[in-house]
Chain A
């Protein structure tokens, strides 16, 4: 079975600074990888996803992530954050051929301040 680890429960950062949110996964087979964002008391919105092909994936709101198979990682990055990026970010994994069943990490709270 697959699992996802988001080691940082909270990441404080100043506005306009770069940020990296870490995600590591474990699986014995090929995987699909996702990053979702959740604003307070709302559902989840897809930021980006890796299914195949280029390991550098660009998403919405200026975010990007890089799939590293050897390190089993899928870290999320943004070169310059904005106050409006304050939210909870979830990494998720799905094993190929398992009908879209997602396993989520425990989330990272990104807090952007002036």
Chain B
């Protein structure tokens, strides 16, 4: 079955710690996205990548970093500079840049601060 997997489902972060959220897709999509979801605020775009080895900041990139070394993988690192990381993080992918196609979402990772 093709789809998007995110791991872990729950992640706990200690003060000053960097943590990495995994996102893998086997849909052969070129574009991938990371969103943050907070109660009552909808989804906000953190980073997106239209092609391997290239990515752009979204609306709330501060305190986060990404890499896109492989087409199928787009990991998100929440750094210690992100002072309020508790949220639900969603990864998505779509066919490619410049093509208005559906974004498909993973099941999400819930990040909690200890």
Contacts and interface: CB of A to CB of B under 8 A. Distances in A.
Chain B CB within 10 A, most for which of A43, A97, A104, A105: A43
A58 to B, nearest CB: 15
A44 interface: yes
A67 interface: no
Contacts of B98: 97, 99
Interface string A73-94: 0000000000000000010001
Interface in A13-59: 32, 34, 36, 41-46, 49, 51
Nearest to B48: A101
Given A101-B45, A106-B41, A45 B97 contact: no
Contacts, number: 59
B25 interface: no
Contacts of B6: 43
B100 A51 contact: yes
Contacts of A104: 35, 42-44
Chain B CB within 10 A, most for which of A44, A49, A96: A44
A71 interface: no
B94 A100 contact: yes
Q: What range describes how many residues of A lie at the interface? A: 20 to 34
Contacts of A36: 105
Interface stretch (B12-20, B61-69, B76-84, B106-114): B106-114
A101 B31 CA distance: 10
Contact of B50 (A90, A99, A105): A99
Interface string B69-111: 0000000000000000000001010100111111111111010
Given A90-B43, A100-B100, 7 more contacts: A43-B4, A44-B43, A44-B92, A51-B100, A102-B45, A102-B103, A104-B35
Interface of A: 4, 9, 32, 34, 36, 41-46, 49, 51, 90, 94, 96-97, 99-102, 104-107
Interface of B: 4, 6, 31, 35, 40-45, 48, 50, 58, 90, 92, 94, 97-108, 110
